[in-house]
């Protein structure tokens, strides 16, 4: 693999990039802090037609790796609701529809006792030829709140209730969210991998 001191993030989602950067920067490691995370070019767009989070992450990372002839990583995530047979799952971003998707989930759970759900995130790193060199997948379990609450975070955070805290992930600090969340878990896995792999020239 071509060695660099940077890694591309195969996404145009600034919120995801900011979260991952903040988690990596929290590590007291000169090596990790010296690695630059570059956002995907504005033209980046790919058909995410995989049937799993890992497959979609691979599609995004490998496409950008081969296009730019460099190392890249991608994250694919979504909310899975037990009573809805795991939906919206990999279609979470499209289902969200400017927040209408949250209300749709709440409506579909009316009268149902099972409100369990989880956020799942998959992260894949590929080399300049598009080959997988690292991958991980983690989940964060909670329940669907009765209504959206909170102004922090993004996406489905306002309806994701953390039972132990009795707060949604939109009501907690970014620091605590990074510690608990699905994205925080895969980002920490990435950090551990970066510590062992020599990206530098």
This prediction's pTM: 0.91
Q: Is residue 73 part of a domain?
A: yes
Q: Residue range 75-90: average pLDDT?
A: 97
- Residue ranges of the alpha helices (H) in 51-99? 53-68, 92-96
pLDDT band at 201 (very low <50, low <70, confident <90, very high): very low
d(CA 193, CA 201): 17
d(CA 83, CA 163): 17
d(CA 181, CA 141): 9
What does the pLDDT look like over 35-80, one tens digit per residue? 889 999 999 999 999 999 999 999 999 999 999 999 999 999 999 9
Domain residues for 140? 6-196
Q: Which of 76, 127, 157, 196 is catalytic?
A: 76
Q: Is residue 1 part of a domain?
A: no
Q: Is residue 20 part of a domain?
A: yes
Residue holding tokens 């983690």?
Answer: 138
93-116: buried (b, 16+ CB within 10 Å) or exposed (e) per residue?
bebbeeeebbeebbeebeeeeebe
189 is catalytic: no
Statement: residue 199 has pLDDT above 90: no
Report the percent of the chain where pLDDT is more than 90: 77
Helices first, then strands: H and E counts in the chain? 7, 7
State the total domains in the chain.
1
Q: Is residue 201 part of a domain?
A: no
Domain CATH for 184: 3.90.950.10
Q: Is residue 115 part of a domain?
A: yes
């Amino acid at each position: 693999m071509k060695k660099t001191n940077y890694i591309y993030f195969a996404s145009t989602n600034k919120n995801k990039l900011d979260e991952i950067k903040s988690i990596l920067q929290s590590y007291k490691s000169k090596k990790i802090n010296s690695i630059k995370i570059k956002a995907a070019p504005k033209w980046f767009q790919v058909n995410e037609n995989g049937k799993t989070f890992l497959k979609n992450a691979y599609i995004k990372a490998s496409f950008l790796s081969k296009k730019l002839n460099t190392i890249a990583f991608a994250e694919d995530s979504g909310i899975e609701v037990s009573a809805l047979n795991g939906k919206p799952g990999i279609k979470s971003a499209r289902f969200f529809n400017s927040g209408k998707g949250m209300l749709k989930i709440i409506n579909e759970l009316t009268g149902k006792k099972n409100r369990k759900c989880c956020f799942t995130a998959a992260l894949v790193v590929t080399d300049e030829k598009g080959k997988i060199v690292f991958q991980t997948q983690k989940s964060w379990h909670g329940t669907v709140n009765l209504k959206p609450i909170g102004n922090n975070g993004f996406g489905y955070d306002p309806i994701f209730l953390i039972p132990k805290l009795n707060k949604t992930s939109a009501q907690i600090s970014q620091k605590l969210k990074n510690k608990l969340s699905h994205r925080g878990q895969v980002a920490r896995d990435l950090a551990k991998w970066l510590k062992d792999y020599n990206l530098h020239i």
